[in-house]
Amino acid sequence: MNSPWLLFAVVSFWIAALIGIVFAWRSLWAWETARSRWLVQETEGSTSDTDLRDMPWLRRWLYRAGYRGENASGWWISLSLMFFVIGGIAATLFVLSGVQTLMIRTISLVPGGTGDVFVPLAYLAPWFLGLTLGLTPWLIVRQKRRERVQKIEQDLPLAMELMATLSQAGLGFDAALSRVMETRLALRPLGKEFRSYQADIMSGRTRSECLRRLAWRADVSGLSILSSALVQADQVGMGISDVLRRQAEDLRSRRRERANMFAMGLATKRMFPLVICFLPGLFVWTLGPVFIQLIQMADTFTQVRNF
């Protein structure tokens, strides 16, 4: 009888919490905007390498995942808070709707006391639901970062081979890069990083500084090694084509070794889902009816003996 009023009170509490979070985020966003304007006025629009390295960890993480807007941190924080509130509402409704109670009763009906082992999971189900919904923005950004790194490592050997061929034909590094940017690689994450490098070159920075900034922005191991090799070749005066071709071969060999390691460890990784998911279901499917009959026979013998 009190459950509708309890549900109304819980929903009202979460709505009030959501409104408070929205107002708090607006205040935080206004303060962050004012602080950013003050920093821009103080540095007079400077975008030096030190300013990039002094980014807060949240903005740096989003920046390297591809979210490079000025308000990316504020949007991510607001979305995270909103999803945590949604997760709390979903967990509360999961409990008040009786789904958790139905799960516990259904699991408890499993004969032989086997279901009692999984009863704690039913009690923790609302927490898992709320936590999963709350961590959705973090999981999305993490997946975007992985996809970005994978695409850069996939396109980097081909780009270096093309630039090495163009360099051997007589073009310089920047001219070869401009020709590469006319291909489909310009639409990929690696092409966007190269466009940022070209913008740094056009702003008057040295090639070594632009290469270091390129390595910092992407934060990919292959691109960092390439940038270090190109900086060293530029300082020593080596040929760019040889450096690019060797780096491409090294990248391909590292990718081959990584693929071999993944293939060798696949059998070990496959063992855990096989033991945890497949084999229990197979045992229940084949031996479940037999155990149920044995339990029924044992109950029958016990009743006859007591009689």
* pLDDT tens readout for residues 13-40: 666 666 666 666 666 666 555 554 544 4
> Could you tell me if residue 285 is inside a domain?
no
Which residues span the domain enclosing 68? 3-134
> Could you tell me if residue 18 is inside a domain?
yes
User: What average pLDDT does this structure show over 78-84?
Assistant: 87
> Is residue 166 a contact partner of residue 175, using CB atoms and an 8 Å limit?
yes
Q: How many separate domains does the chain show?
A: 2
Last residue of a domain, one of 110, 134, 158: 134
> Could you tell me if residue 270 is inside a domain?
no
Residues 74 and 159 in one domain: no
Mean pLDDT, the chain, integer: 79
Residues 87 and 184 in one domain: no
Residues 25 and 116 in one domain: yes
Residues 122 and 182 in one domain: no
Statement: residue 248 has pLDDT above 60 = yes
Rounded to an integer, what distance in angstroms lies between the CA atom of residue 303 and that of residue 23?
67
Residues 46 and 104 in one domain: yes
CATH of the domain at 219: 1.20.81
Per-state percent for the chain, helix, strand, coil, to nearest 5: 85, 0, 15
Residues 113 and 155 in one domain: no
CB contact burial 134-148 (16+ within 10 A = b; e otherwise)? bebbeeebeeebeeb
Statement: residue 48 has pLDDT above 50 = no
Per-residue confidence (pLDDT) for residue 30, from 0 to 100: 60
Residues 181 and 72 in one domain: no
pLDDT digits (tens, 9 = 90+) for 115-161: 677 788 888 888 898 899 889 999 999 999 999 999 998 888 888 88
> Could you tell me if residue 294 is inside a domain?
no
Per-residue confidence (pLDDT) for residue 169, from 0 to 100: 85
> Is residue 194 a contact partner of residue 181, using CB atoms and an 8 Å limit?
yes
Residues 159 and 118 in one domain: no
Last residue of a domain, one of 263, 281, 301: 263
Q: Report long-range pairs for 265-269 (Cβ below 8 Å, ≥24 apart).
A: none
**Whole-number CA gyration radius for the chain:** 30
> Could you tell me if residue 191 is inside a domain?
yes
